[in-house]
Chains A and B, each alone.
Chain A
């Protein structure tokens, strides 16, 4: 098992909003028929989960380059809609599950199922794959797999400077090559275009406004849509929010301290004994490996999976068992390799190769001020020293998206200098210990919307609405989505997820 794979597990788990299956095979299309831009071609739903239950599916044709309509290339946005038959229908509800790279269609049934009935029945639910994702085109093609992280020592200090330089040297030419191979489409994948697609979809469906649930990266889509089309959100929920004025440097710099908050929050949430226990495990695994039933485990097999799982409370029991087992192996007896493997496997399900370059191209189009190699070394070393090895690995992944790319390949983005005023202010939901999008970013996001409500959650959930049992969050957000009444800001206490019914 390579360090790169593990880093991939971490990066992918942290990037995506919702841990359901997100990969959908690109659609096999019949011979292209010329279609008018902005028009919908209705077809049958191909995603397994949408073939029953009343979903209608279609494809919206949009220009690849919204700023150059003379460019004949198109993008096709695949979507599904589940229409409300309620007499008191409230409008159209849509969402983006994060990433970048998360497919909406693959999650459509999940979203329908987690939403309270009074929402799922009173809205048309619209699921869509952003351009470049899932069933929507264009797709990147012909790119080499992303390179491995350089091997990292099992124990002891890591030479992060050498690691950073080696990794950048290896990824730079491959990414440049991928970009050049896809020069006709790679510049057009950024959120600048995605929000225009979303607006075109609204118009094509004849919807007046969206009620929108942005999860993780989906909050960036929401923010930018709100800036461009401020009257088109009926209600806007930012759940696990990015920072409004993030740059690539502050984005990666956050990881230096984010993991301290993750640690403090999840060990406190998991109850007495866990803070001390986890602290001991971290210190011990930085000094030695642990062998259970003849199998040797290193820190790289444990921590990336733990952190990659903390955003989803349903995995807390498995996280606890992993930590208990490693602790027992390090300091006591009774550890079982089979049990540990089983529990580790529960913490791992994301395909690390899912669209690595796609994520790079979107992020680097969206977020400016790319760091230099020296700045990456600084950020990663700081994270390792003051946070954790996992924090350093995360920072390395987050700060190296753009090496190999040339600045200015996508439309320029400007920072917010005054708050946005929407007809109905949004709600931002953020956990203190969110391992993917730092709490501070969500807090800042709420400060950039006039009259916004900020709901803090004292857990580590990344994307919290209906994914934690907190009535404090769920009831407020549900009422807001139904009535547009903005709740008062609040801090909501961690609520453990009840074990599944046997």
Chain B
């Protein structure tokens, strides 16, 4: 799919002097300079690279693969490189353009998600777009990658009281004293890697990839954290975007503090929206269960369960509709076990649900997430502030909400301040030739609705589609014409849909 025009652009860009501010060569000791803006005229030096696409190994049948080599340090002078693996599925018919995506995380591999993602797309999209999957630096098959970092443990913090008040400050300090040294060791063990992870670099990689593949523009689908890549790419290279969809969108002005504090209410919203989707008694039962679990433990399927393992099962996966049946079974069984009686069959069913939900909740991201989050955002909360947010989350929701708060609030413990290379808050609206589409569920705990609303508002003429559910990342995940058709049409024809709210779409139609 390489075209000659693309290479000309490479040469042209390579002639531009790198004006972007350099970040410190030894970031551990020198404060980084935040690039205040990334106008495309100040693009970093871009090496001319030609890519040869070859058939991909094994499971990516029909895709063609290559690896893009780029400077590891786009804003400095290091000679080190980064390698970005990518896979292309050519358009089957008359090509409209190139569509790429990021599945989120930070830490999600595009290559790994490629087949599943492609399969979910409508046929007319497959006819019309080259699909490009890639692994952001630090993820999957890319380099640089963190090495020598111990597997994170999120289990053994604090002597958690089964019931009654929790000392969230002690809890937070305990988490910080456990993860801080691990993160610090990881940072120190990776001096040539850790400072070069972050969305500012990913945006440059993505632009280099576009040029190297010879595409005039990207059509971009950013899911979850991927919306941050899309947003920053739009700020840096507005002319390089043909279309932009942010599905499960970040708050463009999020700080580490607001990110952590959001869980004091995001779970309340999720619980409420979730409850409203089912019968009238569910809301009361759900609320009563959460409240009771702070006062007592409960025996289910022969095992004593506490709030520390039940609330992650009840709320941890609430932004995934595929977990709804299990969550409802857990609510009903826990309610009956607390206040009535349960049948053996019901208990067995709940035991299985619990196992599935606990497995999902145990997924942890590697340290890449910490490095990217801490590079991208400023405003670290103090441990006292984090404990305060955790207390609010406890009052408003549950120990699960507090736990998530504490993990977020301590994300950057042990990392030097110099890792921060955040954008300054967005000041002016971004005017793209074709405004973007933002989708978000009202009760999304991963990317709360409020942040997505704000993201949409910062793009002139954008479309904002609200889903009256809790599903995180929505496009082509649900059978809802209200959600799917406008986005597909937008990609195909650049028709920006009217903002709207779409009703709940069950996974299985009743």
Q: Which residues from chain A sit less than 8 Å from chain B, CB to CB?
A: 245, 249-250, 253-254, 256-257, 260-261, 263-265, 267-268, 272-276, 279-280, 283, 375, 378-379, 381-382, 385-386, 416-419, 440, 443-444, 446-451, 454, 456, 458, 489, 491, 493
Known: A268-B457, A385-B257. A250 touches B284 (CB 8 A): no
Q: A268-B456, A272-B461, A419-B284 are in contact. List 12 more A-B contacts (CB 8 A).
A: A264-B457, A268-B457, A273-B429, A378-B392, A381-B385, A385-B257, A385-B258, A385-B261, A419-B281, A443-B276, A447-B276, A447-B280
Q: Is the CB of B460 within 8 A of A382?
A: no
| Residues of chain A within 8 A of B456, CB atoms compared | 268
B460–chain A nearest beta-carbon distance, Å: 6
Q: Is the CB of A267 within 8 A of B284?
A: no
Known: A253-B396, A381-B388, A419-B283. A447 touches B458 (CB 8 A): no
Q: Which of B470-510 contact A (CB under 8 A)?
A: 499-501
Known: A256-B265, A378-B388. A491 touches B501 (CB 8 A): yes
Q: Is the CB of A276 within 8 A of B265?
A: no
B480–chain A nearest beta-carbon distance, Å: 14
- Per-residue CB contact flags for chain B residues 438-478 toward chain A (1 = under 8 Å, else 0) read 00000000000010011011101100101010000000000
| Residues of chain A within 8 A of B460, CB atoms compared | 272-273
* B273 interfacial by beta-carbon distance below 8 Å: yes
* B288 interfacial by beta-carbon distance below 8 Å: yes
* B219 interfacial by beta-carbon distance below 8 Å: no
Query: Of A256, A444, A489, A491, which one neighbours B272 at CB under 8 angstroms?
Result: A444
| Residues of chain B within 8 A of A250, CB atoms compared | 395-396
* B264 interfacial by beta-carbon distance below 8 Å: yes
A48–chain B nearest beta-carbon distance, Å: 43
* B361 interfacial by beta-carbon distance below 8 Å: no
| Residues of chain B within 8 A of A272, CB atoms compared | 429, 460-461
Interface of B is mostly: helix
Give complex CA distance A454, B504 in Å: 14
Q: Is the CB of A454 within 8 A of B457?
A: no
Q: List 15 A-B contacts (CB under 8 A).
A: A245-B287, A250-B396, A257-B262, A268-B464, A272-B461, A275-B454, A381-B388, A385-B261, A418-B284, A419-B284, A440-B265, A440-B268, A444-B283, A448-B284, A449-B280
Query: Of B264, B273, B454, which one neighbours A382 at CB under 8 angstroms?
Result: B264
| Residues of chain B within 8 A of A443, CB atoms compared | 272-273, 276
Query: Of A256, A275, A280, A418, which one neighbours B264 at CB under 8 angstroms?
Result: A256
Q: Is the CB of B272 within 8 A of A447?
A: yes
* B302 interfacial by beta-carbon distance below 8 Å: no
- Which of B44-52, B410-418, B420-428 interfaces with chain A? B420-428
| Residues of chain B within 8 A of A249, CB atoms compared | 395
| Residues of chain B within 8 A of A456, CB atoms compared | 501
- Per-residue CB contact flags for chain B residues 231-264 toward chain A (1 = under 8 Å, else 0) read 0000000000000000000000100011001101
A136–chain B nearest beta-carbon distance, Å: 34
B296–chain A nearest beta-carbon distance, Å: 15
B191–chain A nearest beta-carbon distance, Å: 33
Q: Is the CB of B450 within 8 A of A386?
A: no
| Residues of chain B within 8 A of A280, CB atoms compared | 427
* B172 interfacial by beta-carbon distance below 8 Å: no
Q: Which of B260-301 contact A (CB under 8 A)?
A: 261-262, 264-265, 268-269, 272-273, 275-276, 280-284, 287-288
Give complex CA distance A57, B38 in Å: 70
A319–chain B nearest beta-carbon distance, Å: 16
Give complex CA distance A382, B405 in Å: 13
CB-nearest residue of chain A relative to B265? A257
* B389 interfacial by beta-carbon distance below 8 Å: yes
CB-nearest residue of chain B relative to A452? B280
Query: Of A245, A256, A385, which one neighbours B385 at CB under 8 angstroms?
Result: A385
* B200 interfacial by beta-carbon distance below 8 Å: no
| Residues of chain A within 8 A of B264, CB atoms compared | 253, 256-257, 382
Give complex CA distance A84, B466 in Å: 43
A264–chain B nearest beta-carbon distance, Å: 4
Give complex CA distance A176, B85 in Å: 70
Give complex CA distance A273, B391 in Å: 36
Give complex CA distance A178, B275 in Å: 43
B318–chain A nearest beta-carbon distance, Å: 15
Q: Is the CB of A276 within 8 A of B429?
A: yes
| Residues of chain B within 8 A of A448, CB atoms compared | 283-284
Query: Of A265, A273, A382, which one neighbours B453 at CB under 8 angstroms?
Result: A265
CB-nearest residue of chain B relative to A273? B429
| Residues of chain A within 8 A of B257, CB atoms compared | 385-386
